Amino acid sequence: MARELCDEVMVSVFVNPLQFEDKNDLAKYPKTPEIDEELAEEAGATILWRPEVSDIYTGDEKKLSAGDLGKKFEGVSRSGHFDGVLNVVNRLFELVKPSYAIFGEKDFQQLFLIKKMAAQLHPNLEIIPAPTVRESSGLALSSRNVRLTPEGHITARTISKALRAAAARDTLVDMKSELALLANESSFKLDYAELIDEDTFEIADQNSLKVRAIVAGWVDGVRLIDNMAMKRTLVHT
C-alpha cells in the first residue's frame, strides 16, 4: 500500500514503554527482529528503523493527552495507554516528517485518536487506515497470538465469528444481541463488546451513519482486541 504512494517507505519497530502500565507485560512482549526484517522487505519497505528509547524520548518533548476518550474502552483497563500512544507517534512524526502514515484498523480506538492528533499537530500528514489482516479462520493477526495455547487459539476465533454475525444483522438491537453471546464463552473473559459511531467514537445510535463493533477480552490470559464495520444502512426499528 505504502509503495503505491511513495518511493521511500519506512517501517519503525519500537516497543513503547509508555504504553505499558504492567511492566511484566512489557517484558513479555514478543520481539522478533529477524521476522521484522523479512516482513518489512516483503512488504516493500526501503528503511527499517529500530530506535532506542533515548532516540525517542529526550526529556524535553511535549506531553500529549488522549483526553476523555483515552479513558474509555481500552483505556479503562490500560491506564495511560493512549497517552503513551499519542506521545510516541507524535515523536515519530516529528523525527521522520512523513507525507503519509499507515495505521491498521485493528486498534480502531488508537487509529481514531491518532487521526485526531495528526489533524491538529501535523495538518500536512495524511493518515491512511489499513484493513485488519486475518487468518483463514477469521482471527485477527497479532504478535500476541503466539502466546495462545492451541485450545486458546480456537477460543479466540469466536471473536471474529461474533463480529461477522453482528455485521450480518440489520438493526442495532440485533447486532448487540450477537455480540452479547461472547459473554457466554467459558474460555473467553469478555471486557467489552460495543457498537460505536465511527465519526465520534460515542455509542452508536439510530442517527449513526457509520457503525463499528469493537470487542476486547482475554484468552489464556492474553488480551485480544478486534473490530468490524457494520452495515452502513440500518433498519431503524
- Per domain, the residue ranges of the chain are 2-130, 143-229
Does the pTM exceed 0.85?
yes
| CATH class entry, domain 2-130 | alpha beta
Q: In what order do the strands lie in the sheet with 189-197?
A: 189-197, 211-219, 222-229
Q: Could you tell me which CATH number the domain at 143-229 has?
A: 3.30.1300.10
Residue 138 Rama label (left phi>0; alpha psi -120 to 50; beta): left
pLDDT tens for residues 39-71? 889 888 999 999 988 999 988 888 999 999 999
Locate all alpha helices (DSSP H) within 138-231, ordered by sequence: 150-167, 172-180
The pLDDT tens digits of the residues spanning 74-120 come to 999 888 889 999 999 999 999 999 999 999 999 999 999 999 999 99
